Amino acid sequence: MGRMTSAERMHAVMMGQKPDRVPVNPFAMGYCMQIVGLPLGDFYSDGKKSFYGQFMSMRLHGYDVSPMYGYASCGPWEMGGEIAFPYGPGHSAPSVTRHAVNTIEDAENLEVPEFRDGKLPGAYGIADDLFQMCAKYKMPVTFQSGSTFTASSVVADTTLFLKWVLKEPKTLHMLLDKVSDMYCNAIEYFADKYGPQAVMPFDGGPSEANTILSPKGFEEFAFPYMQKLHKKIADEGIGVVLMHPCADQNMNIPFYIKVREQMNWRGKYIWLFGPETPVQDQIDAFGAHDVICGNVDPPSFQTKPYEECVELCQKNIEEGKDSPSGFILAPGCEFPPGASPDKLMAMMDAAEQFGRYE
Amino acid sequence: MTSKEELLEKLSNAVIEGDEDKCAELAESALEAGIDPYEAIMKGCNKGMEIVSHKYECKEMFVPEILLSADAMYAALDVLRPHLKVDEAGKKTGTVVIGVAEGDIHDIGKNLVLMMLDVAGYNIVDVGRDVSADTFVEKAAEVDADLVAMSALMTTSMVRMELVINGLKKRNLKAKVIVGGAPISQSYADKIGADGYGKDAVEAVRVANKLMEA
Ligand code: B1M
């Protein structure tokens, strides 16, 4: 088999065919800014610079996924709160400086933002500058479409939100419903603007991890809104969704399986679980129809030497390479923004050496 | 079991169940029965929170449940604390400046550690999250802290903790330092010169107590 381009490689995986080698998605976001000598904060505050950094990093390293935009604290700005961009020491992503919901009345009065041309809420306006560049280069438009639970956990004061799980379930459902309406609006807007086949919604978040929430809590407060959004995605005719159940979500897997089953959806999920979920468990749960991503421990790219990073990637490739519907090498969450470029090279080198299919 | 032991066990169970009203009632009953409020806090509230913490580590309880337990514990503390003899409250304990390392907003774990130190009798000064090294050091100097407790959940923020330790040394402050959080280990704590490391909130208190005794 001859060498494929990145686009051909990804296309082959998405079509259920074998590419020349395992594709690489380094989930590199803030990291890309060091490649182009720009501050990390620009990744999130300026869509054009964000595209530029990611595009250059992708070309320099030769990995296989195109630029995207998103962060864990998406939602608060869009729903009336405030965030700060990560320009300070030690910062790695935007953080909330003022929550939109601090009382039950705030939740009652919360308004769902509309998505209109020239008037996109919060960071979606910044992201759309990047999306326009993606569309121009015929790359998928990867926009944030969840998770409702994580966004709501930062739209509201997080401690209050978590107390509402047990003390104020009705208010919590009202909040979750409004936040999921915001994501429905985003899905409709971007599918309409760029075409359902050109977009790839990105759904995921850390607040529903089982280090925070029980599987029972997930069933009651996260699952229904995931179903609502994924039905919207299916209704819009979108064919691919990037899923990132962040951190330890092992106890939530039965619900993720149910989302497709209950919708009878024919599209494809790309699953990027945290390092806590064994690759084989992902293959057992989703491998029959979905693409599985690897989940190399992200901090290792910052703390371990090149050789060890290659070994970790090799192990990950060996575990996932023969997943029936395809495998992409990836870290279990964002590539550390401060990791050195040789660590990303470790992913590429491992894919070349151990990920070939012929 | 004596009626005193029974009452303290009921208080501990009410903390675990997260029952605020019951906790306040049982705290009143403890005072009426002549139980020393310090003992009621340690053998009722503190014991309850230790069990909660253990159940969290075993994935039998999750953060929403812990927060309810914490509210219940504070309902009992509100009743018991005004009756503490002043010297008893601060017997083995001291003043702790606690916060999350610079660049990091993950404060759920820090808040759990704070609660456990609080119920164990420490005087708490919470400096919040995304806290600069200067703020930690300034605050420690201002309140004459015995301990500085730092939490970090990210590889990007954990490296900021060393700056605090260096800053405290530079100012010749007496405060000892405990660190913790998911990416931290004993070896990392040793490497940056921290005096102690806690794997979880219960251990954080144990380590703090040990440092205070030393
Ligand atoms: C002083 O002595 C001590 C002693 C013991 C101490 C101690 C101090 N402090 C803690 N302990 C110990 O005692 C506690 C009780 O046992 C324990 O505390 P923990 O804090 O560990 O445990 C808590 C009780 C429960 N656990 C938690 O609260 C953290 C849970 C996870 C899932 C998590 C959450 C919920 C969130 N997150 Co984020 N988040 C993750 C977390 C993954 C995980 N570890 O599960 C982590 C930490 N996050 C991560 C990331 C990358 C991020 N997050 C982000 C945001 C968020 C939310 C806001 C959505 C939310 C936090 C809400 C809040 N107010 O805290 C972003 C950061 C923004 C910022 N500026 O900081 C963002 C950068 C994502 C992005 N690109 O936007 C990862 C860090 C990777 C790394 N190692 O560097 C992460 C490990 C998830 C992952 N990828 O697997 C012990 O560690």
| H runs (alpha helix) in chain A | 6-14, 32-35, 41-45, 47-61, 104-109, 123-136, 148-155, 158-167, 169-194, 215-217, 223-235, 253-263, 279-286, 298-303, 306-320, 341-354
Q: Are strands B176-180 and A82-84 parallel, antiparallel or unpaired?
A: unpaired
End-to-end, the C-alpha distance of chain B in Å comes to: 35
CB atoms within 10 A of CB B3: 10
Long-range contacts of range B34-37, CB-CB < 8 Å, 24 or more positions apart?
A: B35/B4, B35/B7, B35/B8, B37/B80, B37/B81, B37/B83, B37/B84
- Total residues found in chain B within this entry: 214
Amino acid letter, A33: M
Pocket test for ligand 1, best of B153, B178, B179 (most atoms within 8 A of CB): B153
pLDDT for residue B175: 98
Cβ pair B137, B171 in contact under 8 A: yes
Nearest-angstrom CA–CA distance, B166 and B159 = 12
Q: Who contacts A14 (Cβ-Cβ below 8 Å, separation ≥6)?
A: A240, A268, A291, A326
> What's residue B91's pLDDT?
56
pLDDT attached to residue A332: 98
Question: What stretches of A26-168 show up as alpha helix (H) in DSSP?
Answer: 32-35, 41-45, 47-61, 104-109, 123-136, 148-155, 158-167
d(CA A50, CA A55): 8
Convert the pLDDT of each residue in A200-248 to its tens digit.
999 999 999 999 999 999 999 999 999 999 999 999 999 999 999 999 9
Give the pLDDT score at A105.
98
CB of A93 shorter than 6 A to ligand 1? yes
Say if B68 is an interface residue toward chain A (CB within 8 Å): yes
Rounded distance between C-alpha atoms, residue A301 and residue A259, angstroms:
33
Written as one letter, the residue type at B121 is: G
Cβ–ligand 1 distance for A298 under 6 Å, the answer: yes
Structure tokens at A179: 């936040």
Alpha helices in B81-119 (DSSP H): 86-89, 108-119
Q: Which amino acid appears at position A89 of this protein? A: P
Q: Which atom of ligand 1 is nearest to the CA of B156?
A: 83
From the CA of B16, how many Å to the nearest CA of chain A?
14
- Tokens in use for B208? 């703090």
Q: Are A210 and B63 in contact (CB under 8 A)?
A: no
Tokens of A13: 């995986």
Q: What is the mean pLDDT of chain A?
A: 97
Answer yes or no: are the C-beta atoms of B92 and B209 closer than 8 Å: yes
What confidence tens digit (pLDDT) does each residue in A72-90 have?
A: 999 999 999 999 999 999 8
Question: Cβ(A200)–Cβ(A144) under 8 Å?
Answer: no
Tell me how long chain A is: 358
The closest-lying atom of ligand 1 relative to the alpha carbon of residue A274 is: 89
Question: Residue B98 CA: which ligand 1 atom is closest?
Answer: 1
The pLDDT assigned to B86 comes to: 67
Q: Which residue has the tokens 């039965």?
A: A254
pLDDT at A103: 98
Report the alpha-carbon distance of residue B208 to residue B214 in Å, rounded.
10
User: Phi first, then psi: what are they for A205, rounded to 5°?
Assistant: 175, 165
Q: For residue A214, is the peptide bond before it cis, meaning its omega torsion is within 30 degrees of 0?
A: no
**Do residues A205 and A72 lie in contact, with contact meaning Cβ atoms separated by under 8 Å?**
yes
Contact between chains at B103 and A90 (C-beta distance less than 8 A) = yes
The domain ranges of chain B are 4-89, 92-213
Token pair listed for A122: 């919060």
CB within 8 Å of A221: residues ≥ 6 apart: A149, A165, A169, A172, A173, A176, A213
- Segment B54-68, tens digit of pLDDT: 999 999 999 999 999
Structure tokens at B54: 């253990």
Closest CA to A351 of A315, A324, A323, A325: A315
Element containing residue A125 per DSSP (H, E): helix A123-136
Mean pLDDT value of segment B67-85: 96
How is domain B4-89 classified at the architecture level of CATH?
Orthogonal Bundle (1.10)
Structure tokens at A74: 């998406």
Amino acid at A157: D
Mutation pick from B55, B102, B129, B155 vs chain A, by most beta carbons of A within 10 Å, is B155
Distance in angstroms (rounded) separating the CA atoms of residues B63 and A253: 19
DSSP code of residue A251? G
Q: CATH second-level architecture of B92-213? A: 3-Layer(aba) Sandwich (3.40)
Reported as a single tens digit per residue, the pLDDT across B150-195 is 999 998 899 999 999 999 999 999 999 999 999 999 999 999 999 9
- The distance in angstroms from the start CA to the end CA of chain A is 7
Residues 6+ apart with CB under 8 A from B67: A159, A162, A163
Backbone Cα Rg of chain B:
17
Q: Which residues of B touch A337 (CB under 8 A)?
A: 156
Q: Given this model, what pLDDT does residue A1 score?
A: 58
Higher pLDDT, A271 or B214: A271
Q: A160-189, pLDDT tens digit by residue?
A: 999 999 999 999 999 999 999 999 999 999
Would you state the pLDDT for residue B77?
A: 97
Q: Which CATH class is domain A6-354?
A: alpha beta
pLDDT tens by residue, B10-61: 999 999 999 999 999 999 999 999 999 999 999 999 999 999 999 999 999 9
